[in-house]
Structure 1
Amino acid sequence: MSGAATSGLGYALWYRVLPQLSPAVAAVVQLSVPIIAIAAGAVLLGEQINARLILGACLVLGGIALAVLRLTRGRGFPGKG
């Protein structure tokens, strides 16, 4: 039941924000979903967070940030510019 409720809230938020994003930025930002799930697991379920997990999350979020910055500056998809 709680999984269904949190998934529903997540989808509601995503579809509320989605019209404000370009398709390319939306595609890149969607890659943050596993990081959000990790954070929710830590906060709601008390799952353990270790240095390896934090490093991985930082690398993913850093990659997303670089891609979004490049996309919002009008250069298209990363690597295609």
Structure 2
Amino acid sequence: MTASAEPLPTVPRTVTGLSWDVYHGRACVWCEVLLMEPGARPVARVEEYAGVHDLSTTVWGCAPCCQARGVGEAP
């Protein structure tokens, strides 16, 4: 019998709770490691507005997290 894999965290639906580094595209959205190595990819656009203020941002993933989730692979 094999143990079921732990579910991977999903991309947040709002910018609330994102760290400064994640919000500004400097850290991985899943593991929050700074994106210093090549292979980082844009993962999703998180859109949020506060009245007329656009708080939307593009969140990025590091190479190991993207590979584990199949982000950026050809279908």
TM exceeding 0.5? no
Pick the structure with more strand per residue.
Answer: 2
TM-score, normalising length: structure 2 = 0.25
TM-score, normalising length: structure 1 = 0.24
Bigger CA radius of gyration: 1
Pick the structure with more helix per residue.
Answer: 1
